[in-house]
A and B are shown apart, each in its own frame.
Chain A
Amino acid sequence: MTKSFSAKALARSYRTERTVTFTTGLLAVLLGAAVLVVGLGWLGAYRAQRPVLDPMAVDWIRHQQPTLVRIVAIVAGVALLVSGLWWCARSLRPERHPDIELDRERGHRLVVSSSAITGAVRADTEAIDGVTKAKVRAVGSRRHPALRLHVWLREGSDPRQVWARIDDDVLGRARAALGVTVLPTAIRLELGSGKATRVR
């Protein structure tokens, strides 16, 4: 099952970072275990007493085409460099907050900047009774933009009522303004954040 755009918009994806960290960790564990297995003599006592840089392996490399070995080493080095830089840049890159394109036709391009739409949605959300604070961001890609609403509710307010108001008034207005039928939205509610105001 693929995740809907609104579910993806809940938080920034960590999948790539987690996968590469997991893979590196797994490789390190396997490498350490393999060296320990050899060093403890489980592959034979004779094997364990051979030097780490084994003359047999060195001889095998010497018998290969020297040009080929060098080219393979250089290509591998460049590949590691490029993938390492890509990986690093990807981890450091801030999350994208795309503008929303209303019209993609040539000569008729119409773009709403992400801060304009998020500012309007935030003001509408904070006007709802029971909401103490709201933060809104446009996330996703240009082709599939989505909204992320972080909404703090006052203690005792009913989340059902609040999100019905958000869906009807806030998102309905945003959809109407943008002229779209579906606007993927992820809402993170913080319940009971402020004290309920009491009449004395």
Chain B
Amino acid sequence: MRILVRLLSTVLGLAVAAAGALLALEVAWWWWRPAEAPLVVPWPQWRDTLAGIAWDSPGVRITAAVVGVAGLLLLLAAVTARRHDVAFTDPATEVTVTTSPRSLARVVGAHVREQDDVVSASVTATARKVRVRAVSRMETEHGLRPKLAGSVSALLEDLPLTRQPKVSVVVDSPRDRR
């Protein structure tokens, strides 16, 4: 999303610059040679059209709705364009260390797959929460979940994270379905 915001920002800047240039140009031209106006933008036609349609016409309402929705999309893009880094404690002054949620998930996933009775596992991680989904053949969810949760928590405590994420574990086991 971050590259999208940079792109949007560029396009919006260009649009504002173009609108400003046209406004200044048209007004100056109209001031200098009123008889030969308009120069580029057919604004007298636009003026007549706008004078002919009412606020409650469908075209105006649809345009307003489209502008509103476009604005909401811009808001959404701006809000979601933040970094999701996982922070470590600073080892020294003016040294800041972070990692990506993906690499945290990779470490937890490798650790969980090494455990006994785990066939496969998928992990998603953020700075606040680590979700583990493990598949086991031999163990029930009841038996395996506390073990996995404990060992993942111990692993995370070994890492010098500024905040310890909550750990949630789900075990998928055929023995639970019998």
Contact = CB atoms under 8 A, between A and B. Distances in A.
B71 A26 contact: yes
B116 interface: no
A22 B96 contact: no
B74 A77 contact: no
Interface in A5-36: 5-7, 9-11, 14, 16-22, 24-33, 35-36
Interface stretch (A106-114, A115-123, A126-134, A188-196): A188-196
Interface string B30-51: 1100000000000000010011
B13 interface: yes
B153 interface: no
Nearest to A51: B51
A39 B53 CA distance: 11
- Which bracket fits the contact residues of A? 35 or more
A40 interface: yes
A183 B71 contact: no
Interface in B140-175: 159-160
B91 A33 contact: no
A24 B98 contact: no
**A interface: dominant SS:** helix
A78 to B, nearest CB: 5
B103 A11 contact: no
A45 B48 CA distance: 23
A155 B114 CA distance: 13
Given A28-B74, A35-B64, A80-B17, A159 B96 contact: no
Contact of A24 (B50, B74, B92, B160): B74
B81 interface: yes
Nearest to B10: A91
Contacts, number: 253
A9 B98 CA distance: 11
Given A38-B55, A84-B17, A159-B160, A21 B78 contact: yes
A42 B164 CA distance: 51
A79 B20 contact: yes
A25 B75 contact: yes
A102 interface: no
A186 B88 CA distance: 11
A29 to B, nearest CB: 4
Given A14-B2, A14-B6, A189-B103, A49 B56 contact: yes
B9 A87 contact: yes
B24 A73 contact: yes
Interface in A121-173: 155, 159-160, 163-164, 167, 171
B14 A187 contact: no
Contacts of B51: 51-53, 55, 58
Interface string B2-31: 100110111011111111111111011011
12 contacts: A6-B95, A14-B2, A14-B6, A21-B81, A24-B12, A31-B67, A36-B64, A40-B61, A51-B53, A52-B50, A70-B28, A74-B27
Given A51-B52, A76-B24, A167-B92, 14 more contacts: A10-B96, A18-B81, A19-B78, A20-B12, A25-B72, A32-B65, A35-B63, A39-B56, A47-B55, A49-B55, A53-B51, A76-B20, A82-B17, A84-B14
Interface of A: 4-7, 9-11, 14, 16-22, 24-33, 35-36, 38-41, 47-53, 55, 58, 70, 73-74, 76-92, 155, 159-160, 163-164, 167, 171, 182-193
